[in-house]
Amino acid sequence: MSIPVAVIGGSGLSTLLDAATAELRLVQTPYRTVEVLVGTLGGRQIVFVPRHGAGHSVPPHRIDFRATAWALATLGVRAIISTAAVGSVSAAHPIGSLVILDQYLDRTHGRADTFFEGPDVQHLPSADPFCPELRAIAKGTLGQEAVDGGTVAVVQGPRFSTRAESRWLAASGAHLINMTLYPEVALAAELNLGTLTLAFVTDEDAGDDAMPVDAELVFERLRAARPRIVDAVERLIAAIPADYRPRTLIEPRAVEAVLGRPTS
C-alpha cells in the first residue's frame, strides 16, 4: 500500500495520531528498524514518525536520518511535512512565530548525510532544499498565520549555543537555529521526496539581550503551542493535492538502487 504523505514530528510533537486507531508498523531498513504509525489526519491516510523516538529518547546527533528517509520512501511517501522547534536570531521571526522554512546552513559534523557513498556518486542540487510547491501550498493555506521564509542554521547539539555562536550564526545569514533538520532534508531529497518544514520559534537562542535558553523553557512553550501546531499540520495535509509529485533531483534508477528495487 502506498501512503503519499508523512509527518515527522519534532520536539513537542512526539505523538500525533490516535494510538487506539493508528496502526504500528515496523519497517526494516539497511540501517535500523523504524517504527511508524499509520492513521488518518486531515481527511487522508498518513505515516507519522516522531523524530526523536518515543518519549524524546534520541538526542539530535544520534538520530538515524537515513533509516527514516529510507523507510518513508519504501512506504510510498512523496511529501513529508515536518515540524521543528527553533530559536530565533532575527527580529522578523519573533518568539511564538510559525515559520515556513526555505533555506538551511549546515553547521553539523560527523553525520551520515548521503545514500551515495560510491561507487555510484550522485550530486544533489540543493539551491532550494525545501520543495517550492509544498512551500507555496503552505503559504496559501496558512496565510498570515506563518512567516513565509527563514534560513535555519542546523547545529550539532544537544547543547544550546553560546552568545558568540548566536552572533556568528546571525552574521552568517541565519534567522533561526535548530539541531535536526540536517541531514534530514537532504536525505529525503536524495530519494526524490518533497519536504516542507513548519518551524515554531520557542526562544531567542543566545543573543546578547536574550534570556538564556534551556530545555525546560523550550518544552513549556511547545506544550502551549501544540494545539496550534497540530491544527496547522492537519490543514497542510488536507491541502496537498492527491496528484502531487515531488521534484526529480536524483536519477530515478539511482534511487531505485538505494531502495533495493529492481530497475526496468
Residues 6+ apart with CB under 8 A from 152: 84, 86, 101, 103, 104, 105, 174, 175, 176, 177, 178, 181, 197, 199
Centroid of chain to Cα 125: 18
- Average of per-residue pLDDT across 245-254: 97
Dist CA 66 CA 136 (whole Å): 27
- Average of per-residue pLDDT across 196-222: 90
Contacts from 222-227 at CB under 8 Å and sequence distance 24+? 222/11, 222/12, 222/13, 222/85, 223/12, 225/12, 225/96, 225/200, 226/12, 226/13
- Exactly one of 203, 208, 209, 231 is catalytic; name it: 203
Q: What is the mean pLDDT of the chain?
A: 94
What are the domain boundaries of the chain? 5-259
Say if strands 146-148 and 176-178 run parallel, antiparallel, or are unpaired: unpaired
- Average of per-residue pLDDT across 118-143: 97
193 is written with which cell numbers?
A: 521526496
**Is 209 annotated in the active site?**
no
Q: Residue 238: pLDDT band by 50, 70, 90 thresholds?
A: very high
pLDDT at 262: 57
Say if strands 79-88 and 176-178 run parallel, antiparallel, or are unpaired: antiparallel
Dist CA 236 CA 82 (whole Å): 11
**Is 205 annotated in the active site?**
yes
Q: Is 172 helix (H, G, I), strand (E, B) or coil?
A: coil
- Average of per-residue pLDDT across 221-249: 96
Say if strands 176-178 and 151-155 run parallel, antiparallel, or are unpaired: parallel
pLDDT at 110: 96
pLDDT at residue 263 greater than cutoff 70:
no
- Exactly one of 64, 120, 148, 205 is catalytic; name it: 205
Q: What pTM did the predictor assign? A: 0.95
- pLDDT digits over 9-40, tens only? 988 788 888 878 899 999 999 999 999 999 99
- pLDDT digits over 146-171, tens only? 999 999 999 999 999 999 999 999 99
pLDDT at 99: 98
Q: Residue 143: pLDDT band by 50, 70, 90 thresholds?
A: very high
pLDDT at residue 1 greater than cutoff 80:
no
pLDDT at 153: 98
The helix-helix angle for 65-74 and 252-259 (nearest 10°) equals 100
pLDDT at 207: 78
Question: Which of 3.20.20.70, 3.40.50.1580, 3.50.50.60, 3.30.1490.100 is the CATH number of 5-259?
Answer: 3.40.50.1580
